[in-house]
Amino acid sequence: MENSKEMRTWLNDLGLDHPLVIAGPCSAETEEQVLRIAHALKDTDVTYLRAGIWKPRTRPGNFEGVGALGLKWLQRAKEETGMLVGTEVANAAHVQLALEHDIDLLWIGARSTVSPFIVQEIADALKGTDKVVLVKNPVNPDLSLWLGGIERLYTADIKKLGVIHRGFSTYEKSKYRNIPEWQLAIELQSRFPDLPLICDPSHITGNRDMIFDVSQTALDLNFDGLMIETHDDPDNAWSDAAQQVTPDVLIQIMKDLKIRKESDAEAEYNSKLGTLRAQIDVIDNGLIETIGKRMRISDEIGQLKKQKNVAILQNKRWNEILGRMILEGQEKGLSEEFILKMFKAIHQESINHQEKILKA
């Protein structure tokens, strides 16, 4: 697949002077709930009302969505408020029902994007549609799998496309529910600049207090829009209670977010600079994260050495590491002097850590 301007026309045609906002509850629970939320979001910057009808739950026994009945509620919300509506589809039957109920936007969830069979089934069922179709990233950080999903849709003559970055699952504990590997989204954007890129801070954070910051980072990285789970009584939501915000909070978030306007040369320069700086910030955070991880492993080695009563400094091993890193550095255009300085500093920090452990 090649970058194609066609993928973006639906977004341009909306003629927004702000990022696209898709908002609404994680799950449609009752008709009244959907209508209350829709009315609270109409006449705001929200363009699409979202609600999950079929809910993919990690483990059985949780609320699995109201099913096709909820499509009628979305249709009614659309009639009453004039908003466009969207929901998640996970198989051909869902697609058919969604199309019958004139749902404007369909998205493929993270647990579906991992399966080429499911994505192909959805693409076949949607063939040639003029509805907007968005592909969430797969739960695992695999850019090819994500792009593969888009390719399957594009090949089925579905041209109103976009992707949603909702973060990636990990075994490691983190402050995020799903880690936002921003580098992946940045790479996708540089390969397909015309593929609309939307961030879902709700599923990235799992925590309503972090929605603003993650949304701002996304806009700084030139994302085209946000999908934010919004519920009129978040604490009592039937799914994803901790991450949903009220319509009032959403309106405040949309007001506070800084959007970079590219209206003249100066603004364009600032916008480019802002994007590049945001990329650097992401990488710097990653560096600290990686060095922290290295130190934790070094601590474990310290424990082992303590048990066996072995000396901290192992010169042979250290010289091997340095030699290897100088060569790797050369390939990346980094000077020997810099590599030596950097690794000496890292090594010293490692020795300090291990000394502390041996003395403890």
From the list Mn ion, ligand PEP, none, pick the one residue 109 interacts with, judged by a Cβ distance below 5 to 8 Å according to partner type: ligand PEP
Nearer to ligand PEP, 75 or 169 (CB): 169
Site map 20..59 versus ligand PEP, x via CB under 6 A: ------x-------------------------x---x---
Binding-site member from 8, 78, 101, 136 for ligand PEP (CB under 6 A): 136
What CA–CA distance (Å, rounded) separates 179 from 285? 13
CB of 182 to ligand PEP, least distance (A): 16
What CA–CA distance (Å, rounded) separates 261 from 353? 47
Nearer to ligand PEP, 179 or 357 (CB): 179
Nearer to ligand PEP, 115 or 279 (CB): 115
Nearer to ligand PEP, 19 or 65 (CB): 65
What 3 state SS string does the chain have?
CCCCHHHHHHHHHHCCCCCEEEEECCECCCHHHHHHHHHHHCCCCEEEEECECCCCCCCCCCCCCCCCHHHHHHHHHHHHHCCEEEEECCCHHHHHHHHHCCCCEEEECHHHHCCHHHHHHHHHHHCCCCCEEEEECCCCCCHHHHHHHHHHHHHCCCCCEEEEECCECCCCCCCCCCECCHHHHHHHHHHCCCCCEEECHHHHHCCHHHHHHHHHHHHHCCCCEEEEEECCCHHHCCCCHHHCECHHHHHHHHHHCCCCCCCCHHHHHHHHHHHHHHHHHHHHHHHHHHHHHHHHHHHHHHHHHHHHCCCCCCHHHHHHHHHHHHHHHHHCCCCHHHHHHHHHHHHHHHHHHHHHHHHC
Residue 203 sits in the site that holds ligand PEP (CB under 6 A): yes
Nearer to Mn ion, 189 or 205 (CB): 205
What CA–CA distance (Å, rounded) separates 10 from 219? 19
From the list Mn ion, ligand PEP, none, pick the one residue 136 interacts with, judged by a Cβ distance below 5 to 8 Å according to partner type: ligand PEP
CB of 87 to ligand PEP, least distance (A): 9
Residue 224 sits in the site that holds Mn ion (CB under 5 A): no
Site map 163..192 versus ligand PEP, x via CB under 6 A: ---x--------------------------
Question: Cα–Cα–Cα angle for 179, 238, 36, nearest 5°?
Answer: 105
Residue 70 sits in the site that holds ligand PEP (CB under 6 A): no
CB of 49 to ligand PEP, least distance (A): 13
* Residue 297 to residues 17, 125, 302, 324, 352, Cα–Cα distance (Å): 48, 49, 9, 19, 14
Q: Could you tell me which stretch among 23-31, 85-93, 123-131, 246-254 binds Mn ion (CB under 5 A)?
A: 23-31
Q: Could you tell me which stretch among 6-14, 107-115, 205-213, 295-303 binds ligand PEP (CB under 6 A)?
A: 107-115
Binding-site member from 7, 21, 22, 26 for Mn ion (CB under 5 A): 26
Residue 208 sits in the site that holds ligand PEP (CB under 6 A): no
* Residue 252 to residues 44, 73, 257, 277, Cα–Cα distance (Å): 11, 26, 9, 26
From the list Mn ion, ligand PEP, none, pick the one residue 166 interacts with, judged by a Cβ distance below 5 to 8 Å according to partner type: ligand PEP
Nearer to ligand PEP, 112 or 354 (CB): 112
Nearer to ligand PEP, 110 or 218 (CB): 110
Nearer to Mn ion, 54 or 192 (CB): 54
Which residues does residue 245 pair with via DSSP β-bridges, in sequence order? 230
Residue 240 sits in the site that holds Mn ion (CB under 5 A): yes
Residue 116 sits in the site that holds ligand PEP (CB under 6 A): no
CB of 292 to Mn ion, least distance (A): 30
Chain residues in the site for ligand PEP (CB under 6 A): 26, 52, 56, 88, 109-111, 136, 166, 203
Chain residues in the site for Mn ion (CB under 5 A): 26, 240
